[in-house]
Amino acid sequence: MVVLEIYSKCLPIKYKTYLISKATFFTLILRIISVIAPFVIVYNSRAFWLKQDSFYEQPSVHFRGEYIFGALTNVATSPIFCSNYPFLQKYAEFDRCPLVKVIEVTKNGDDKIDELQFSVTVDITELEIVSFYLILTLDYSLHTVCPMKMQSAIIVQNNGQSFTRDITLNAQLGLFQFEPLGCHQHKTNKRYNYPIVNEKEENTNKFDLSRILEEYNLRNVSTRLINEYMTQTPRKSSEFVLNLIIQYPIHHVYYTPGFWQEVKWAWIQFLSVFVIFLWFTERIIQYVFDNRLVPFYEVSPLKKTQ
Amino acid sequence: MILFLLMVLHYVAMDPSTVTPVTETSTELTTTTPVSSSTMASVTSTQTPINHTSFDGDVDTCTCNLHRNICDLNCCCDKDCSLEDKNVFSHCVREINVMRYTSFCRYTDYIYINNTPYEWEVNQNGLFCIVKTNLPSKRAVQTHQAITSLEQSTLHKRDKYSWPDIEADRTELTSFANESFVYGSPIWILKNQVLQKFELADSFMTNACVIKRDIKYLENFRSVCIQTNLSEGNIHLQIETYFQNISVIKAPQFFNVSEISSCPKNVCLPIEVKECRENCAPLSPQTATTCQFYSTQFNCSNLAHKIIYNLYHNGTYGLTTVELLLHLKDLVHAPDHRFEFEQEFQVNFFWRDSTANYSQLLSGNPGYLLGKPVLVGTVNGSRIERNSSVFRENFLTFPASRSGLCVLNDDVHVVSEFGCSMLLRCGVRREIDAGNSTATELCRRIQTAIFEFWPLSSNLSAINRAFGAFGNANETVAEWVEALSAESPEAILNATYGNFTGDANDTLICGNVTATLKVDVFHARVAYRSLMRQRRIVGVTYSFGARKRATFTIRGGVLEWNVLIREELMFFDVTSKHVEKFADPPSFKIRLPYDFFYPFVKVDNSGGVPRLCYLVISFSIIGLLMPIRLSL
């Protein structure tokens, strides 16, 4: 008949000694080391605390319908300024834009806008455009890891050639961050959800582009055009046409992880090193007590107590 | 199998590496003075014979030796260099492609130390290095066979990068072939008895007419470019260039090259020329392009501004009629200005029996395509009316701005594009004879003139405009969406009033004038039969801008007024979430036969009406039996 080992259990052997003794001190030191040393090693090998993390997401971007087109011409008294901001209509005498077109295109049927086509036609009879800028305001929002909603902009600046009449700009919308995004999974970050062009008193009296750009540039999170490719067509015409084709790609977003994400990541690192230290310290303690290198007395269930 | 027989732990406390000059290098080695011990503390100056345990490689290779019988500078292994020559060296060119087995404790290399260019045996004294090996010497073997045939060279070129053959893809027909027309075949013309391809000017990189493009059968063509040369030699400005002594070959299969001079008119089609200014009419024999110089400027007349070829065809049987519409333009040009004259070239193909019918043009089938014009019509009872010969009566259009002024006619207008929101702005300038009209009448005439630029029907009592729900809407009302508006144009008109002011009543003040029209188009992507995401217009609203007060001046009984009008077209995507809904599961009605409880119920001819007592008894029995069955 075959004999099988179907069950086994350990008999605990107790090693006892006084509080103030070599064995107590030795065991305590080793236990402390087994806990502290993994911390030191993990911390010094860097990235113990997860200070930032990142994710990829295609944002929901919508054109807010507000635009500003400004151009300097060869005639100082005839600048061109077109806008549909109500408070900027006081400069309507400089409005020479008879036609503005906007198409927002969804290419893959996921209900997210993938491309913005914008076109502005400027009547420049007898004038030559020296330089121009264009501001389009956007609603930008993220929904997955780090919900965020902000008002951002597409800003185009160009020192145009006087003979150019058609400019087509192909570009992509990029996300620019100074620092990781403050993030809460169930709370939408609306820190920058305010207008790019503020209807402040100082702006209404004299439209100040440099102030808008300065404020926008100081934002921690902003959108700007990347991978810009511009084609220009010289033409003698009374109209100047600026075409924009802007793609909205997937954005790489940096954010500050929450408390539990940091603790989870740190705990995994600590635990992986602690297990090794624990094994070593257990071996050392076992060696010391097996060889009776420190005084103690042993309580074994196999030996009858006197 | 042990690879390394012996690997000895070397440990050099002072210097990890030492070099030893090799005795059997060039002859000058024997004549050199040993390196001073002060500078060569780590170099063993003992000129011991080379140990066979070290790796010395191929001593005959000297890759930096690039001149025969001449000493190459800094090339320490060059046998042409004498010791004196080598004194001028600053370093030894280190050949990186030489196999140096640095894992050996001793190996050969060229090192230049203290103006002594020698071949040194390096004793690296590494922590681990190979002192001796019993492995047979190894050589890298690569077979390179000479290419002796073109096939082999082609084989070697496969999967390699090379210059593309720029002439490989010339599939265009360069010579006349008697083949039937298919889509994209070149069209041939006879010009001054010379057979040539039909080509028209186009721009390239710049906007100037610098190239010519082949006209292909059934491929519509359009190009806009400028002519920069105003001289008699520039034939492109002259209208005769486009039709004189030109006939178009009906189809290649009907044309015999040997009969060029006697080509019949049913094969070599003549061009029917029409000149167009306001309207198009057959070309008058007196019409010709002329340019004359008067004192300070050129006065040109009848320049070819738009050249439109309408080619009527009958499929593979080729062309049937060729029509040329020449839009002419007069020009005054001062020589001190740069000359630029814009020309537009068009080639349009039509089926032989087709006529211009805008109502037959679809903007999608069924769903709208992005960028296609929005279908409009006028509501008339249960039908939608569209004047098929007027573009603006079939599609949503807005006035275009020309030099700041609104222009709206069949040629000049801004066509709506589905999905494309627009902001339009232009000025309306008119002169009205004030006559005996009252101020209010004048103001209403101004408002009416503004309305004429907007997509409204002639009946101002309602908007009366309908928009095609799909891009293929027919005349049935059900396929159209009527525009909604909070107020009718007539109500706006009735609210408009005017007053004369000023000393001589020469100022007209109009109140409640609106100059802004907002058209909102609500569309959604819906499923249509087996098609998904078909764009459909679900609603259109009209709204008019704020009522404003405007002041005009009357001079000499004539009211000159100038109003800036605006149109705003906005598309709203109101697609609801797509939910797949399945049919309800089939319901089964399980009934017992009407006489199942026959003893307990009264069954009559109509199917039976249970008597209450029998029913109670029957259910009681069933209720009693059920536990018994379950307990079993």
- Residue-wise pLDDT tens digits, B372-395: 999 999 988 888 888 888 899 999
Is the minimum CB–CB distance between A72 and chain B shorter than 8 Å?
no
Inter-chain CB proximity B207 and A234 less than 8 Å: yes
pLDDT tier, B110 (very low <50, low <70, confident <90, very high otherwise): low
pLDDT tier, B3 (very low <50, low <70, confident <90, very high otherwise): very low
CA distance A135 to A190: 21
Tell me, what DSSP letter sits at residue B530? T
Which residue is closest to B228 within chain A, CA to CA?
A236
Which residue is closest to B398 within chain A, CA to CA?
A99
- The answer, yes or no, to whether residue B112 has pLDDT greater than 80, is no
Q: Give contacts of A98 with chain B, Cβ < 8 Å.
A: 400-401, 404, 424-426
Give ipTM to 2 decimals: 0.79
Which among B206, B419, B425 has CB closest to A98?
B425
- The answer, yes or no, to whether residue B147 has pLDDT greater than 50, is yes
Q: What is the pLDDT of residue B118?
A: 58
Residue A244's φ and ψ, nearest 5 degrees, are: -120, 130
Give B269-297 pLDDT, tens digit per residue: 999 999 988 788 899 888 888 877 777 78
pLDDT tier, B117 (very low <50, low <70, confident <90, very high otherwise): low
pLDDT > 90: percent of chain B: 36
Q: Are B368 and B536 in contact (CB under 8 A)?
A: yes
Give B560-588 pLDDT, tens digit per residue: 899 999 999 999 999 887 777 888 888 88
Q: What is the pLDDT of residue B92?
A: 82
pLDDT > 90: percent of chain A: 67
Is the minimum CB–CB distance between A126 and chain B shorter than 8 Å?
no
- The answer, yes or no, to whether residue A288 has pLDDT greater than 90, is yes
Average pLDDT over residues A82-111: 90
Nearest Cα to Cα of residue B112 among B137, B88, B132 = B88
Q: What is the pLDDT of residue B55?
A: 43
Shortest Cα distance, chain A CAs vs residue B519, angstroms: 14
Q: What is the pLDDT of residue B585?
A: 86
Q: Give contacts of B575 with chain A, Cβ < 8 Å.
A: 111
Other C-beta atoms within 10 Å of B461: how many? 10
Give the DSSP H or E segment for B430. Answer: strand B420-433
Average pLDDT over residues A222-247: 89
Q: Token pair 């032989």 is at which residue?
A: B352
Inter-chain CB proximity A236 and B422 less than 8 Å: no
Which of A19-33, A231-245, A276-290 comes out lowest in average pLDDT? A231-245
Q: Are B385 and B377 in contact (CB under 8 A)?
A: yes
Shortest Cα distance, chain B CAs vs residue A65, angstroms: 9
Which residues, at least 6 apart from A141, have a Cβ–Cβ distance to it below 8 Å? Answer: A59, A60, A61, A147, A148, A149, A150, A188
Q: Are B541 and B511 in contact (CB under 8 A)?
A: no
Q: What is the pLDDT of residue B613?
A: 56
Q: What is the pLDDT of residue B217?
A: 94
Q: What is the pLDDT of residue A301?
A: 85
Parallel, antiparallel or unpaired: strands B341-351 and B297-313? parallel
Nearest Cα to Cα of residue A21 among A296, A246, A208, A256 = A296
Q: What is the pLDDT of residue B23?
A: 37
Reading the block at residue B405, the tokens are: 């002024």
Inter-chain CB proximity B417 and A235 less than 8 Å: no
Inter-chain CB proximity B401 and A99 less than 8 Å: yes
Parallel, antiparallel or unpaired: strands A80-83 and A60-73? antiparallel
Average pLDDT over residues A159-185: 87
Which among A99, A117, A123 has CB closest to B424?
A99
Give B447-456 pLDDT, tens digit per residue: 999 999 999 9
Average pLDDT over residues B511-525: 94
pLDDT > 70: percent of chain B: 81
Q: What is the pLDDT of residue B426?
A: 94
pLDDT tier, B600 (very low <50, low <70, confident <90, very high otherwise): confident
Q: Give contacts of A102 with chain B, Cβ < 8 Å.
A: 420-422
pLDDT greater at residue B317 or residue B170? B317
Taking CA A67 as the corner, what is the angle to CA A65 and CA A69, rounded to the nearest 5 degrees?
Answer: 160
SS (H, E, C) chain A: CCCCCCCCCCCCCEEECCCCCHHHHHHHHHHHHHHHHHHHHHHHCCCCCCCCEEEEECCEEEEEEEEEEEEEECCCCCCEEEECCHHHHHHHHHCCCCEEEEEEECCCCCCCCCEEEEEEEEECCCCCEEEEEEEEEEEEEECCCCCEEEEEEEEEEECCCCCEEEEEEEEEEEEEECCCECCECCECECCCCCCCCCCCHHHHHCCCHHHHHHHHHCCCEEEEEEEEEEEEEECCCCEEEEEEEEECCCEEEEECCCHHHHHHHHHHHHHHHHHHHHHHHHHHHHHHHHCCCCCCEEECCCCCCC
Q: Token pair 């995507």 is at which residue?
A: B573
Q: Are A131 and A72 in contact (CB under 8 A)?
A: yes
Reading the block at residue A207, the tokens are: 């439209």
Q: Give contacts of A100 with chain B, Cβ < 8 Å.
A: 422-424
Q: Give contacts of A109 with chain B, Cβ < 8 Å.
A: 533
pLDDT tier, B624 (very low <50, low <70, confident <90, very high otherwise): low
Is the minimum CB–CB distance between A234 and chain B shorter than 8 Å?
yes
Residue A14's φ and ψ, nearest 5 degrees, are: -100, 130
Is the minimum CB–CB distance between A161 and chain B shorter than 8 Å?
no
pLDDT tier, A237 (very low <50, low <70, confident <90, very high otherwise): confident
Q: Are A81 and A209 in contact (CB under 8 A)?
A: no
pLDDT greater at residue B146 or residue B417? B417
pLDDT greater at residue A283 or residue B459? A283
Q: Give contacts of A237 with chain B, Cβ < 8 Å.
A: 342
Inter-chain CB proximity A236 and B340 less than 8 Å: yes
Inter-chain CB proximity A125 and B417 less than 8 Å: no
Which among A65, A103, A234 has CB closest to B370?
A103
Parallel, antiparallel or unpaired: strands B558-573 and B548-555? antiparallel
For chain B, domain boundaries: 62-79+92-112, 185-351, 363-573
Inter-chain CB proximity B338 and A84 less than 8 Å: no
Give A105-153 pLDDT, tens digit per residue: 988 878 899 999 999 999 988 888 889 999 999 999 999 999 999 999 9
CA distance B136 to B477: 96
Other C-beta atoms within 10 Å of B619: how many? 12
Shortest Cα distance, chain A CAs vs residue B345, angstroms: 17
C-alpha distances out from residue B112 to A94, A229, B27, B58, B115, Å:
77, 53, 17, 19, 7
pLDDT tier, B19 (very low <50, low <70, confident <90, very high otherwise): very low
Q: Are A238 and A125 in contact (CB under 8 A)?
A: yes
Other C-beta atoms within 10 Å of B513: how many? 23
Average pLDDT over residues B358-365: 91
Listed in sequence order, the DSSP H helices in B317-380 are none
- The answer, yes or no, to whether residue B40 has pLDDT greater than 60, is no
Which among A84, A236, A238 has CB closest to B423?
A84
Give A192-218 pLDDT, tens digit per residue: 999 998 877 666 667 788 888 998 999
Which among A65, A98, A109 has CB closest to B401?
A98
Residue B608's φ and ψ, nearest 5 degrees, are: 95, 135
pLDDT tier, A253 (very low <50, low <70, confident <90, very high otherwise): very high
Q: Token pair 């007027």 is at which residue?
A: B390
Reading the block at residue A175, the tokens are: 């996300």
Q: What is the pLDDT of residue B440?
A: 92
Which residue is closest to A107 within chain B, CA to CA?
B370
3-state helix, strand, coil in chain B (%, to 5): 15, 35, 50
For helices A259-290 and A22-44, the axis angle rounded to 10 degrees is 140
Average pLDDT over residues B489-502: 90
Parallel, antiparallel or unpaired: strands B376-380 and B383-385? antiparallel
Strand partners, B251: none
Is the minimum CB–CB distance between A109 and chain B shorter than 8 Å?
yes
Spell out where B475-584 has E strands.
480-482, 484-485, 497-501, 507-513, 516-528, 531-544, 548-555, 558-573
Average pLDDT over residues A267-272: 96
Inter-chain CB proximity A111 and B423 less than 8 Å: no
Q: What is the pLDDT of residue A232?
A: 85
Chain A interface, best mutation among B344, B369, B401, B575, by max A CB count within 10 A: B401
| Residue B594 one-letter amino acid | Y
- The answer, yes or no, to whether residue B33 has pLDDT greater than 50, is no
Averaged pLDDT score across all residues of chain B:
81
- The answer, yes or no, to whether residue B313 has pLDDT greater than 90, is yes
Average pLDDT over residues A6-10: 91
CA distance B488 to B468: 21
CA distance B427 to A288: 101
Question: If 0-12 CB within 10 Å is exposed, 13-18 middle and 19+ buried, where does residue A209 land?
Answer: middle
pLDDT > 70: percent of chain A: 95
Q: How many Cα atoms sit within 13 Å of B407 on the Cβ side?
A: 10
Inter-chain CB proximity B426 and A103 less than 8 Å: no
SS3 B491: helix
pLDDT greater at residue B420 or residue B10? B420
Q: What is the pLDDT of residue B72?
A: 92
- The answer, yes or no, to whether residue B102 has pLDDT greater than 80, is no
pLDDT tier, A42 (very low <50, low <70, confident <90, very high otherwise): very high
Residue B447's φ and ψ, nearest 5 degrees, are: -65, -40
Q: Give contacts of B226 with chain A, Cβ < 8 Å.
A: 235-236
Which residues, at least 6 apart from B513, have a Cβ–Cβ distance to it below 8 Å? Answer: B443, B446, B447, B450, B496, B547, B548, B549, B550, B563
Residues of B in CB contact (< 8 Å) with A are 206-207, 226, 338, 340, 342, 370-371, 400-401, 403-404, 414, 417, 419-426, 533, 570, 575
Q: How many Cα atoms sit within 13 Å of B333 on the Cβ side?
A: 20
Reading the block at residue B94, the tokens are: 């280190």
Shortest Cα distance, chain A CAs vs residue B374, angstroms: 14
- The answer, yes or no, to whether residue B77 has pLDDT greater than 60, is yes
Give the DSSP H or E segment for B447. Answer: helix B439-451
